[in-house]
Amino acid sequence: MSLLVSELKVHYRTLRGDVRALDGVTFGLRDGEILGLVGESGCGKSTLGKSLIRMDGRMRRAGGTVVLDGRELPIDDDRAMNAFRFREVSLIPQYAMSALNPTRKLRRMVGELLRSRGAPLDAEELERRMSQVGLPREVLDRYPIELSGGMKQRMVMVISTLLDPSLLIADEVTSALDVSTQKAVARALLGFRERGYVKSMIFVTHDIALTHHIADTIMVMYAGRLAEKAPADVIVKKPRHPYTRLLLDALPEVGVRYADRRLEGIAGSPPSLLDPPPGCRFRARCPIAGDECAEDPPVAELTPGHHVACWKV
Amino acid sequence: MRRYFSRKLLIYGLTFFVAVTVNWMIPRFMPGDPVASMVARANVNKPEAVEAMRAYYTGLFGLDQPLWQQYANFWGALLRGDFGVSIWLFPTPVSEVITRAVPYTLALIVPSVLLSWVVGNRFGAYAARRRLLDNTVLPVGYVLTAMPYMWLAVLLAWAFGVILGWFPVAGGYSFSMRPNWSVTFLLDLLHHWALPFLSLFLVALGGWAIGMRNMIIYELESDYSNYLAALGAPSRLIRRYAFRNAVLPQITGLALQLGVLVAGALVTEIVFAYPGLGSLILKAIQNKDFFLLQGTFLFIVLGVLIANFIIDIVYVVVDPRTRAGMAGAQA
């Protein structure tokens, strides 16, 4: 196991009380594994991604531990965490288009960043990695504003993985891209793993279809908790949790016309995480909910590697 | 690049033209007859003599010609560097009167504008990350920047000049001295310069500090700052980037504020009876000396335009985004 997250609880402090964005999540990540993290907005997937590298000021760890390569990550100690950032855990942010300082040429910016982390700039290696994602070396002598959105995205990907981190968090990296660029980004990420630039990866997204192509394992989250986690094929072909099933049903299928039959969504919305009701959090929207659902469902391992949190399976 | 600058030059040229025209118009359509007051000052009683003097002065200043001709003459003289003859200090040429006053005004404006800008930016950036400073000193900045120039000037003159007696309250140098290059005179000059400088400096300082504080907070929360922090970059590097980017709008602000700062300096000069352009304007108005008034205004307009042009150039040098805009944008 390269990453072991156990019972992680992260709350957001607000004026009206704590929002339990992450409420006891446990999972592991093997060396070389790519985990796709999916769920609707507000399910806690981005919070999980952030918690592993840099909590913002309103976030607070309410419990649980994160162990990476045998060492515990001090995730709620901003200073102590600095030693791990970039070298052990790295991030491709959601906002890659605006992640680069607009008034510095890239070569200088990368050099200054690396020097500040005590790592010399290996220009040759940098250029080799850039060419692997299809960026010409001249890009280094330009300002970020002179690059296209896709180029900026790839540049950020190269920068984030320069120090060969053990864990890479890719947060919604494909959300703002067109389909062909999405594919290129997915390929580049797989290439990073192949060449050993990163050991394991968490791919946060709401795009199940794309996740299926690049992830080994998919973890579905709902309202701050794990709903189902299984190998990618199993999630897509034989989902067990009712939420996963409805989520997949909500996807349009290729070759089907939706003129006659309306595309089904999931009625209702997730519960407020400010003071969530006890029991299974999907209960109110679940078509098969019963009386036992008033109690928290434990995460059960149905077959090796297939975890589901539901009383009905 | 050339396109950009030629467009800028055209705009500045137009501004100059309009400014000169307005400048020519205002005194001429102002109530009051300068020739009549000059004649009155001569205290002559004989009607023929009064008539002769009136005809002489009117011809001398070209006031007997039709308006359009006066306007054309004005431009012609202007291009030869001739601002006319002062009525108040007759027969000294206006250009000479202005040349005597300009060093005082420049010595006041240039250091106070630049120093308040630099110190205000540094201080605002520093205060943005220190809660204590943010809560105590910045409110003082708000008070300072909201203060009218002459009000602060009066307060300073009262406190340090009248009550404490540390500084003189009026003049550019002691009345007992003649301008020369001796150390005593220069020290005396500095002594008189301190209070007007301080009042200009303090008012501008508050504004720059507040602007910078807000910009720095914005930049430190921007995406690139977050990205660097996520990669564990030390806050020193992040702050350096944030400062550099936050300074850019402050440069624009400097360009926009320049006119206000100059106006503030003029008022402050009047409070301290400082022998610069501001006091000159006051004297010119009091004596209906519209050639002097025109010359002074023109000089100020020219100064502000040149300073703005310099800031434009500086901006192009420091912000790569404006250069990118020039290559593509047609606006």
Contacts of A117 in chain B (CB under 8 A): 231-233
C-alpha distance from B242 to closest chain A C-alpha (Å): 9
- Please provide the DSSP assignment of B25-83 as one string: HHHHTSSS-HHHHHHHHHT---HHHHHHHHHHHHHHHTTTS-HHHHHHHHHHHHHTT--
Residues of A with CB under 8 A from a CB of B: 53-54, 81-87, 90-91, 93, 95, 98-105, 112-113, 116-117, 143, 145-146, 156, 159-160
Among A53, A101, A107, A152, the residue to mutate for chain B (most B Cβ within 10 A): A101
Give me the pLDDT at residue A157, please. Answer: 93
CA nearest to A50 within chain B: B230
- Report the residue from B224, B244, B319 with minimal CB separation from A100: B224
Confidence at residue B331, expressed as pLDDT on a 0 to 100 scale: 36
- Would the pLDDT of B326 be above 70? no
C-beta of residue B297 within 8 angstroms of C-beta of residue B290: no
* Of the candidates B285, B264, B282, the residue with the CA atom closest to the CA atom of residue B273: B282
Per-residue pLDDT of B201-253, as tens digits, reads 998 898 899 999 999 999 999 999 999 999 999 989 999 999 999 998 898 88
What are the residue boundaries of the structural domains of chain B, listed by start?
Answer: 2-79, 96-328
Amino acid at site B118 = V
CA closest to A113 among chain B residues: B233
Residues A40-59 have a mean pLDDT of 90
- For residue B244, the chain A residues in CB contact (below 8 A) are 103
User: pLDDT at position B327, please?
Assistant: 58
Q: Cβ contact (<8 Å) for A81 and B232? A: yes
Q: Do A99 and B321 touch (CB under 8 A)?
A: no
Phi and psi at A201, nearest 5°, equal -145, 140
Residue A181 is predicted with a pLDDT of 82
Q: Tell me if A100 and B227 make a contact (CB, 8 A cut-off).
A: yes
Kindly report each contact of residues B114-118 with a partner whose C-beta sits within 8 Å and lies 24 or more positions away, as own/partner: B115/B201, B116/B200, B116/B201, B116/B202, B116/B204, B116/B205, B116/B208, B117/B204, B117/B208, B117/B250, B117/B254
pLDDT of residue B303: 86
- What is Dmax (Cα atoms) for chain A? 64
**CA B21 remoteness from chain centre:** 20
Whether A54 sits inside 8 A of B244 (CB atoms) is no
- What pLDDT digit, counting tens, does each position of A194-209 carry? 999 999 999 998 888 8
Query: B318: nearest CA in chain A?
Result: A103
Q: Which residues in chain A have Cβ-Cβ distances shorter than 8 Å to B227?
A: 91, 93, 95, 99-100, 156
Q: Which domains does chain A have, with CATH numbers?
A: 1-87+167-179+202-253+269-313 (3.40.50.300), 89-164 (no CATH)
pLDDT for the residue B329: 45
> Which chain B residue lies closest to A118 (C-alpha atoms)?
B233
Pick from A26-35, A87-96, B69-78, B205-214: least confident: B69-78
Nearest to B223 among A82, A99, A145 (CB): A99
Burial of A187 (0-12, 13-18, 19+ CB in 10 A): middle
Q: What is the pLDDT of residue A163?
A: 93
Query: Which range (A161-170, B52-61, B150-159) has the least confidence?
Result: B52-61
In whole angstroms, what is the distance from residue A216 CA to residue A225 CA? Answer: 20
Chain B residues contacting A, CB < 8 Å?
222-224, 226-234, 236-237, 241, 244-245, 248, 318-321, 324
Query: For a pLDDT cut of 90, what percent of chain A falls above it?
Result: 56
Is A101 close to B324, i.e. CB distance below 8 A? no
Q: Could you report the per-residue pLDDT of B174-197, keeping only the tens digit for each?
A: 777 777 778 888 888 888 898 999
Q: Please say if the pLDDT value at position A111 is more than 90.
A: yes
Q: Using alpha carbons, select from A60, A19, A56 the residue that is nearest to residue A276.
A: A19
Sheet strands side by side (includes A217-222): A89-92, A167-171, A200-204, A34-38, A217-222, A225-231, A306-308, A300-303
pTM, 2 dp: 0.81
Chain A CB contacts of B233 below 8 Å: 113, 116-117
What is the CATH architecture of B96-328?
A: Orthogonal Bundle (1.10)
The chain B residue lying nearest A92, using CA atoms, is B227
Average pLDDT, chain A: 89
Instruction: Choose from A100, A116, A162 for mutation: most chain B CBs within 10 A.
Output: A116
pLDDT in tens, B87-127: 788 788 888 888 888 888 888 988 999 999 999 999 999 88
Q: Quick one: which H or E segment has residue B282?
A: helix B277-286
Comparing alpha-carbon positions, the chain A residue that sits nearest to B221 is A56
Q: Distance (Å, rounded) from C-alpha A201 to C-alpha A181?
A: 19
Contacts of A202 (CB under 8 A, 6+ apart): A29, A34, A35, A37, A48, A49, A52, A167, A168, A169, A170
Nearest C-alpha of chain A: how many angstroms from B309?
Answer: 22
- Chain B CB contacts of A100 below 8 Å: 224, 227
Whether residue A86 and residue B232 make contact (CB cut-off 8 A), yes or no, is: yes
- The values of phi and psi at residue A190, to 5°, are -60, -40
Q: Give B-chain residues touching A91 at CB under 8 angstroms.
A: 227, 230-231
CB contact under 8 A, B223 and A81: no
Report chain A residues whose CB lies below 8 A from the CB of B237: 112-113, 116
How many Cβ pairs closer than 8 A exist between chain A and B? 75
Cis peptide before A271 (omega within 30 of 0): no
Q: Quick one: tokens of A290?
A: 């019963």
pLDDT (0 to 100) of residue B330 = 40
Tell me the chain A residues in contact with residue B228 when contact means C-beta distances shorter than 8 Å.
101, 113
Residue pLDDT, tens place only, A60-74 = 999 999 999 999 999
Give the residue from chain B lying closest to A114, CA to CA.
B233
**Are the beta carbons of A145 and B320 separated by less than 8 Å?**
yes
The answer, yes or no, to whether residue A220 has pLDDT greater than 90, is yes
Does the pLDDT at position A309 exceed 90? yes
Q: What percent of chain B has pLDDT over 90?
A: 16
Partners of residue B234 in chain A, C-beta under 8 Å: 82, 116
User: Measured between CA atoms, how close is B232 to chain A, in angstroms?
Assistant: 5
Per-residue confidence band for A261, with pLDDT thresholds at 50, 70 and 90: low
Q: Shortest CA distance to A125 belongs to which of A143, A111, A144? A: A111
Residue B9 has pLDDT above 80, yes or no: yes
* CA end-to-end span of chain B: 14
Nearest C-alpha in A relative to B237: A116
Chain A partners within 8 Å of B224 (Cβ): 98-102
Q: Do A95 and B227 touch (CB under 8 A)?
A: yes
Model confidence over B254-302: pLDDT tens digits?
Answer: 887 887 888 888 888 888 888 888 888 888 888 877 788 888 888 888 8
